[in-house]
Chains A and B, each alone.
Chain A
């Protein structure tokens, strides 16, 4: 599965992997805002940002080509709107939609593939996001694979019983799918109760603990300063040159 790849990337070790999650979140937000608020001279600025991201990918020892391809997930959606904008007589906006959505996705991908999700969520908690919400998110991610595999098994079983045969009326197959989804819901519900009992049995007291506490070091401060200044300085420089 695709997303497992990101999980493997996040477990690598490099200077970028070791940075505090808060530093990376701040740098990501500055990057995204600098990109989102640009309208003049976008192509040149975008090239600069792309170079910056590629350098960071190399620095993190991630497969550059693989990351560039993976960030292309957004392109089909953006391409539809780019075509619509082009049809409406605004090709410049279409191009800017493509560029901005791709670069934003690549930046988010860079952060998520250098930070394991539990660490990233802990960083968000340090920035004031309610921990209840983050715990729900963490559970969601952990059990996504389990429940998806269950859904796939149910699909396979249904196919083995010829549930997709065209001899059935649409209404009958619709009801069969609804029943399958109902069963999946009931199983997920029961599984959640089991998980909760197992957690209580192991002494769960209402929040997750990370084994290694994160500390904001001087290197993190340096990284934050450099990584957030780089896109801003680049943009100011390009504005000066073009003006």
Chain B
């Protein structure tokens, strides 16, 4: 689901663009470090593969087919940071050349699909990838990557004031669930095929690391996804945001913005302290 320009409210796209820029730079540096050689051609050609993979249809039921989205598959084979870089490149090319997704909304699409989607998809694999739950982790990774991206995109649209009747909302949530399960099944099947054809391309996450922290991470992803939807999807939340919008926004804009930034800083500091106390911070 690529959000075109004109759908998001200015505060939403501007914030997400500002947030996406440093994240992309960081991930690019990290990807440059993690793969030692032939990285530019490898990432580019695998990006082209993800594009082309949409042409191979998977039967779902009578007359309906689905296709691979690919974020989780890339994370399982290349690692999370290079997979994010490939997804960013795909989204940028789609927005520029194919007018699929907006240029101002690129930050939002990158955060939804290339950053949060890929990282959320990698998380189950990181936790269970080397245990007897491996197959489940592949499936869950694929499903989670699509579910998280779709829910984030929906939440951004709702925050921007695109109104949806409850029936449409529940139908689209059901569709998200179905496509998430489908992506999980396709990712699992392709990964199993790959492990037979070319085992060296499949990653094996290093064992170790604190499973407690990983579980906390997974719970956080699930809570954030579902919570964001409820926060944005509940009629009260939208009404409040909409009521705030026309009159009181300008007078209290600075106060609201500074309160928001202060809150973010406090949460960041709290996370930092908890992370230091809970153990040596391990990055994904």
Contacts and interface: CB of A to CB of B under 8 A. Distances in A.
B85 A117 contact: no
Interface stretch (B6-14, B213-221, B223-231, B266-274): B6-14
B234 to A, nearest CB: 15
A108 B44 contact: no
B205 interface: no
B70 to A, nearest CB: 10
B193 A151 contact: no
B46 A189 contact: yes
A173 B52 contact: no
A182 B24 CA distance: 28
Given A96-B6, A117-B97, A170 B59 contact: yes
Given A138-B44, A180-B56, A130 B193 contact: no
A150 interface: yes
A21 to B, nearest CB: 12
A93 B96 contact: no
Interface stretch (B98-106, B124-132, B250-258, B276-284): B98-106
Interface stretch (A30-38, A58-66, A214-222, A225-233): A30-38
Interface residues of A, number: 79
Nearest to B10: A37
Contacts of B37: 196
Given A108-B96, A108-B103, A193-B38, A143 B48 contact: yes
Contacts of B186: 178, 181
Nearest to B192: A178
Highest count of chain A CB atoms <10 Å: which of B6, B100, B162, B193: B6
Interface stretch (A12-20, A48-56, A81-89, A235-243): A81-89
A134 B197 CA distance: 31
Interface in B88-114: 88-90, 92-93, 95-100, 102-104
B63 to A, nearest CB: 10
Contacts of B13: 36
B53 A184 contact: yes
A68 to B, nearest CB: 12
B185 A174 contact: yes
A178 B44 contact: no
Given A136-B40, A192-B46, A170 B61 contact: yes
B40 A132 contact: yes
Interface in B23-73: 24-25, 28-29, 31-32, 37-38, 40-49, 51-53, 55-61, 68, 73
Interface string A163-181: 0000000100111011111
A186 B168 CA distance: 40
Given A81-B7, A93-B163, A174-B189, A188 B49 contact: yes
A84 B164 contact: yes
Q: Which one of A73, A89, A90, A181 has the highest number of Cβ atoms from chain B below 10 Å of its Cβ? A: A181
A144 B201 contact: no
A173 B68 CA distance: 15
A151 B162 contact: no
Interface string A66-99: 0000110110011001001101111001001101
Most buried by B among A32, A36, A108: A36
Nearest to A7: B97
B10 A181 contact: no
Contacts of A193: 38, 41-42
A67 to B, nearest CB: 11
A108 B104 CA distance: 11
Contacts of A182: 190, 193-194, 196-198
Interface of B: 2, 4-7, 10, 13, 24-25, 28-29, 31-32, 37-38, 40-49, 51-53, 55-61, 68, 73, 77, 85-86, 88-90, 92-93, 95-100, 102-104, 157, 161-165, 168, 185-186, 189-190, 192-194, 196-198, 201
6 contacts: A99-B6, A112-B97, A140-B48, A143-B45, A147-B45, A177-B189
